[in-house]
Amino acid sequence: MKKLKFAIIGCGRISYKHVEALRANYEEAVLVALCDIVKEKTEKLKSEYIEKLKKDEKVSLYTDYKKMLESEDIDVVTIATESGYHFEIANYCMDNKKHVICEKPMALSSKDAQEMIDSSERNNVKLCVSHQNRFNKPIQQLREALEVNRFGKLINGTARILWNRNMDYYKQAPWRGTWKLDGGTLMNQCIHNIDLLQWMMGSEVE
């Protein structure tokens, strides 16, 4: 079976989770390129991947994602940049016929999110947003119960979010906590619960 060739754009904190997933699925997927405007971040992430994989895979490093797409044979691009850049980068990748895995939130406005969906359909490529909580076992069990109508017709759903991010989190990078690139608490933290509410209750409001 042909391995899917992955590239990652944005080599900050969350990118290490994506590299971990690629290592765990090495029989099906391989990392071929990394891109970040800070070259040292790509070098550090590459070392992490190679060292723990214990295989000498070739991983090319870039500071320009457009040049990376021109130069490499890539099937899937994972976007793990600041949230405010997701829209621009994802659309460029999809216009170049690459499947996209995008960190949450997919965009900072519903208009941009819809344009990303339209781009995916227009280019006949897949667009996946990293809402990993859907795969938690209790959430899966609840979803299965809903699918067999265990609770009857649902008329109301509520999400309570008990989650704190202290200043150490926001000091990790200057873009965190900004409207332009982070989107605020609703987009950064609460988006998980909003996604689960829609998945359980349906996205249409009656």
Domains of the chain, residue spans: 4-130, 134-201
Q: Specify the DSSP element, H or E, that contains 118.
A: helix 110-123
pLDDT for position 177: 67
What's the rounded mean pLDDT across residues 60-89? 98
The dotted CATH code for 4-130 is 3.40.50.720
- Mean per-residue pLDDT over the chain, rounded: 92
pTM of the model: 0.89
* 206 vs 17: which has the higher pLDDT: 17
The whole-angstrom separation of Cα 200 and Cα 125 is: 26
The whole-angstrom separation of Cα 31 and Cα 49 is: 8
Binned at pLDDT 50, 70 and 90, residue 179 comes out as low
Query: What CATH superfamily is the domain 134-201?
Result: Dihydrodipicolinate Reductase; domain 2 (3.30.360.10)
Q: Specify the DSSP element, H or E, that contains 168.
A: helix 167-170
Under 8 Å between Cβ of 196 and 139: yes
